[in-house]
Amino acid sequence: MLRFKTTFVILTALYLGLSGCSKEIDTQTNNPLPSWNDGSAKQSIINFVNEVTDENNPNFVKPADRIATFDNDGTLWSEQRYYFQLFFAIDRVKALAPEHPEWKTEQPFKAVLENDMETLISFGEHGLIQLVAATHSGMTTEEFEQIVNDWINIAKHPRFNRPFNELVYQPMLEVLNYLRANGFKTFIVSGGGIEFMRPWVNDVYGIPSEQVVGSLGKVKFEMRDGKPVLIKLPGIDFIDDKEGKPIAIHRFIGKRPIAAFGNSDGDLQMLQWTAAGDGARFMMYVHHTDAEREWAYDRDSHIGRLDKGLDEAIEKGWTVIDMKNDWKVIYPFEIKK
């Protein structure tokens, strides 16, 4: 019997190692969220996962319906004052400026070229859309993908002097892995451009391109020398923010999430939509409370404002992460010396 057991363990281990089917086993580890301090936020995630994966629990959810959606900016990676995509647009304006002498006198381009961020921000959402329209169009989708890849490999955040995709939250990476190990399918549902995220999110978050939902620029199908291409046009077809998030979830996924993670009022409708389904539900807000290690902002912030959402989260008992106290580390590089 002992021999039988030993053989079983060895062979199962061998089989698991070869087949990539080890996920179900990982779920049994005792500390799936090592970068989280013990507390109600961490416990609420674990309780939820235990509940929906236990076949004997009335709130058991079959794996096909274990859909979890994550905002990106401020929820999976940092944003503060500016979306990281704005840094990309700014770098593109500077790279393209020699071809556009008119930008020296034309706003919001002039502000970008003069590094005048205060003026740039004063143009608000409309200014951002102008920058995106000018820098995210006029090439094929494949060319744009290459541009994003080049940028993400070279550009660095001014405060941390690190690539932007290193400024992702280690505790949230653990949540993504923990949910997937428990049979969840994890989706990004972000206001960011879908084509800006897809080139790098699989490597960083383990989320494949077909599980990335975002804002959509206009594209045109065209034959060039007998070869079909998709050309990026200046217009925007869909903004995946606020009411747009439940609509995009309905269109892209076609199932109501049972768990949703956000950080701002732009995520509120996604969390409301998730909360309105039957059975166990999990809604979480990342509350930016750590001015030292990251940033502290909520009700007064222009970008990533958390105001109505914070009230509703408190009123309805959704989980609000206190970044300063709930997270042992913020970024992966803090532990990967």
> Any residues with CB less than 8 A from the CB of 302 and at least 6 apart, and which?
81, 121
Say how far residue 112 (Cα) sits from the centre of its chain: 26
CB of 45 closer than 8 Å to CB of 284? yes
Piece of the chain touching a second copy by CB under 8 A; list 91-99, 126-134, 222-230, 324-332: 222-230
Integer Cα distance of 169 and 171 in angstroms? 5
Integer Cα distance of 52 and 60 in angstroms? 4
CB of 71 closer than 8 Å to CB of 270? yes
Q: Compare residues 43 and 209 and give the one whose CB is closer to a second copy.
A: 209
Distances 279 to 58, 258, 275, 282, 319 between C-alpha atoms, Å: 8, 8, 9, 10, 17
CB of 59 closer than 8 Å to CB of 50? no
Classified as helix, coil or strand, 321 is strand
- The least CB distance from residue 243 to a second copy, in Å, is 4
Piece of the chain touching a second copy by CB under 8 A; list 2-10, 53-61, 129-137, 278-286: 2-10
Determine which residue in the list 255, 328, 329, 333 makes contact with a second copy, applying CB under 8 A: 255
Distances 39 to 47, 175, 298, 321, 326 between C-alpha atoms, Å: 12, 15, 22, 10, 7
Q: Helix (H) and strand (E) counts for the chain?
A: 14, 8
- The least CB distance from residue 215 to a second copy, in Å, is 11
Which residues pair with residue 98 across a beta bridge?
none
- The least CB distance from residue 198 to a second copy, in Å, is 5
Is residue 317 at the binding interface for a second copy, with CB under 8 A as the rule?
no
Is residue 21 at the binding interface for a second copy, with CB under 8 A as the rule?
yes
For the record, the structure tokens of 73 come out as 């900016």
Question: How many other CB atoms are found less than 10 A from the CB of residue 329?
Answer: 16
Pair type for strands 282-289 and 259-262: parallel
Pick out residues in 65-84 that bind a second copy (CB under 8 A).
67
What does the per-residue mask of binding to a second copy show for 267-286, with x meaning CB under 8 A?
--x--xx--x----------
- The least CB distance from residue 237 to a second copy, in Å, is 8
- The least CB distance from residue 124 to a second copy, in Å, is 23
- The least CB distance from residue 206 to a second copy, in Å, is 11
Determine which residue in the list 1, 2, 4, 126 makes contact with a second copy, applying CB under 8 A: 4
CB of 120 closer than 8 Å to CB of 112? yes
Determine which residue in the list 76, 93, 111, 219 makes contact with a second copy, applying CB under 8 A: 219
Is residue 5 at the binding interface for a second copy, with CB under 8 A as the rule?
no
Determine which residue in the list 172, 194, 283, 323 makes contact with a second copy, applying CB under 8 A: 194
- The least CB distance from residue 35 to a second copy, in Å, is 27
Instruction: Give residues in contact with a second copy (CB under 8 A).
Output: 4, 7-8, 11-12, 15, 19, 21, 24, 64, 67, 141, 185, 194-195, 198, 202, 208-212, 216, 219-221, 223, 227-228, 230, 243, 246-247, 250-255, 269, 272-273, 276
